[in-house]
Structure 1
Amino acid sequence: MPFPSPSLMMASESQNLKNYKTINQSIELLLPKFLKNVSNCSTSLKSGTSPLNSLTHIKMEPLSNWLSRTYNPKTSPIYPSKKIKYSAMQTIRTIIVDDEPRAIKGLKIKLEKLFPQINIVDTLTNPQKAIAVINQTQPDLVFMDVTMPVLNGFDVLAQVESPNFEIIFVTAHSDYAIQAIKHAAIGYIVKPIDDDELIHAVHQAKKNIQAKNSLGQNLNLLSQLAQTHTSPKIAIPSQKGIKFIDLANIIRFSGVDGYTKIFLTDETSLLSSYSIGKFAEMVKDQAFFACHKSHLVNLNHIKGLSNNGIIELVYGEVPCSKNKRNELLARIC
């Protein structure tokens, strides 16, 4: 067989190169559609028996080798040329506990938008029910409001059988235990919730879940609270000066002719020049409820609600506006 001339060899190589480029261009166009089904035909690809490999007799790198070298569904789910950082999606079973339904709704929307790996298994407005649900469900993460009627967030944590879960407290700047939360390295976010703060808190919670050190941190927090727990106080100006009163000892605030009368658990009262609106602002993050334009009651001192809308307190009673009754029941029950 005669040896081919150099010019013929060059022409053949040039033609081969054009064919190679044409096939590569075709593959580039077909590849996005082809990769949608790559998981179904991975066996044939690895064996080099793909129909695309038989398009030409030109000596080419097998398509299966090229795909295994270039395409990785974890780093590039669509186009092989893109390098996308990928982290394994771990489902985080989550519970939200807050006595305000609107607060739960807002937080839930943010979590669903920002964290697809978070699975909200339950939301609760009643702290007593939350204890039972947490014990039964054993979640990975709990968002816990600090200030709730009857039991606060720390009381709930203390009564859980085994607090072996990550917790993010939803708190206010004025919460008395904020320093204890920081000291115990527990996550917290401040109302109104900022997206960046939420992202940071959840990111840290995910690290703690993986490190499995949630139980130790929670027990450390409870120890700190046991040593430093004091009831938050409020400064009440009166004719004789300023009185510092534990909020737990206040049954209600009642507006009287532009002044405010404060009723205490020892059956005494104080008269302050502050308006009822001023006190409502001062205790907005505590367990008080504006049941009427003239009355602000401590939810922890409510004994009952009559059919005609009268709130029975440990000492005395006050009316509850019709448009406030359902909200009151939601805060307590």
Structure 2
Amino acid sequence: MRAILIDDESNALDMLEWILQKHCPQVQIIAKCDSPLVGLEEIRKHKPDLIFLDIEMPQLNGFDLLERLGPHDSDVIFTTAYNQFAIRAFKICALDYLLKPIDPDDLKAAVQKAENKKSKVSTDQLDMLLSYMKQEKPKSKRIALTASDHLVFVETEKIVYCESDSNYTIFFLTTGEKVMVSKTLKDVEEILEGMDFFRIHASYLINMKHVSKFTRGDGGYVVMSNNQHITVSRKKKDEFFEMFSKI
């Protein structure tokens, strides 16, 4: 894979280059750019397979660079020192990122994903991320789901519930559609935090706005808007009632 590294900090560039050479020998670095404007020229000139792109840079930040670049075939991995709120934004938008200081294992996983052609950045993803980053509180109404070889953009209000399936999670939508993503239910729970979702059971995360009724019999279960019956964990029952009263 031919790669271009773009970061305004030369030390960060050197460190990324060193880690790539040591842990990802399949990556051929064809350009290192400490200027986003130079980086833009190099991308247009070489058309790399992969771009490692810092976000906060003078002259042109990483998002603006991609907007100016326009349609392209390169996979993109963002590198960032942003805080946890911003990191959650990346997860919501299904964008690949590496948190500085870069961990070699995370880097190898990101490169592997790029090799499988799953690191494309769509205009919808970028627009969603920019919109989300402007919010003061995490109340995004739309998330991106990576399903096999394509992205599905879903309004959170259309998610009825999520079910764990080992290291995967199945999203059940109001349309009757099911979307499976390669994330654990715990990962999904973190992404949807603050959006009226509740981990009612080890295997289920429900949208509280889609709860039709609660039945006390058989230990207690909820009936969702799609008529699905889901058991309420005994450990979660009090917390469920507390949250339900706030909806």
Give the TM-score normalised by structure 2.
0.50
Aligned twin of 1:43:
none
CA distance in 2, matches of 1:99, 1:231: 26
CA distance in 1, matches of 2:43, 2:18: 21
In the TM superposition, what is the alpha-carbon distance from 1:109 to its structure 2 partner? Answer: 0.7
CA distance in 1, matches of 2:73, 2:91: 19
Q: Which of the numbers 78, 81, 92 marks the counterpart of 1:183?
A: 92
CA distance in 1, matches of 2:115, 2:107: 12
CA distance in 2, matches of 1:175, 1:207: 27
Q: Structure 1, residues 233-274: CA drift from partner, whole Å, max 9, x if none? A: xxxxxxxxxxxxxxxxxxxxxxxxxxxxxxxxxxxxxxxxxx
2:21–2:27: 8 Å Cα contact kept in structure 1?
yes
Aligned residues: 136
1:135–1:162: 8 Å Cα contact kept in structure 2?
no
Cα gap change, 1:152 to 1:175, in 2 (>3 Å): farther
CA distance in 2, matches of 1:145, 1:173: 11
Aligned twin of 1:94:
3
2:72 matches 1:163:
yes
CA distance in 2, matches of 1:156, 1:177: 19
CA distance in 2, matches of 1:106, 1:202: 16
Cα gap change, 1:175 to 1:101, in 2 (>3 Å): farther
Aligned twin of 1:24:
none
CA distance in 1, matches of 2:35, 2:49: 20
Aligned twin of 1:109:
18
Aligned twin of 2:32:
123
CA distance in 2, matches of 1:158, 1:166: 14
Q: Name whichever structure is richer in strand by fraction.
A: 2
1:11-22 mapped onto 2 (5 Å cutoff):
none
CA distance in 2, matches of 1:163, 1:180: 23
In the TM superposition, what is the alpha-carbon distance from 1:141 to its structure 2 partner? Answer: 0.4
Aligned twin of 2:132:
228
Cα gap change, 1:103 to 1:226, in 2 (>3 Å): closer
Q: Work out the percentage of aligned pairs sharing the same amino acid.
A: 35
In the TM superposition, what is the alpha-carbon distance from 1:118 to its structure 2 partner? Answer: 0.7
Aligned twin of 1:146:
55
Whichever residue aligns with residue 64 of structure 2, its letter is: D
Cα gap change, 1:231 to 1:104, in 2 (>3 Å): farther
Unaligned runs of 5+ in 2: 137-247
1:144–1:167: 8 Å Cα contact kept in structure 2?
yes
In the TM superposition, what is the alpha-carbon distance from 1:227 to its structure 2 partner? Answer: 2.7
Whichever residue aligns with residue 224 of structure 1, its letter is: M
Q: Structure 1, residues 127-177: CA drift from partner, whole Å, max 9, x if none? A: 112112112211110001111112111111111132321111111141764
Aligned twin of 1:66:
none
CA distance in 1, matches of 2:86, 2:64: 12
Tell me, what secondary structure is at the counterpart of 2:2? strand
Aligned twin of 2:122:
218
1:142–1:165: 8 Å Cα contact kept in structure 2?
yes
2:89–2:133: 8 Å Cα contact kept in structure 1?
no
1:270-309 mapped onto 2 (5 Å cutoff):
none
CA distance in 1, matches of 2:54, 2:112: 19
Q: Name whichever structure is richer in helix by fraction.
A: 1
Unaligned runs of 5+ in 1: 1-91, 233-333
Radius of gyration: which is bigger? 1
2:44 matches 1:135:
yes
CA distance in 1, matches of 2:135, 2:34: 22
In the TM superposition, what is the alpha-carbon distance from 1:120 to its structure 2 partner? Answer: 0.4
Cα gap change, 1:151 to 1:207, in 2 (>3 Å): same
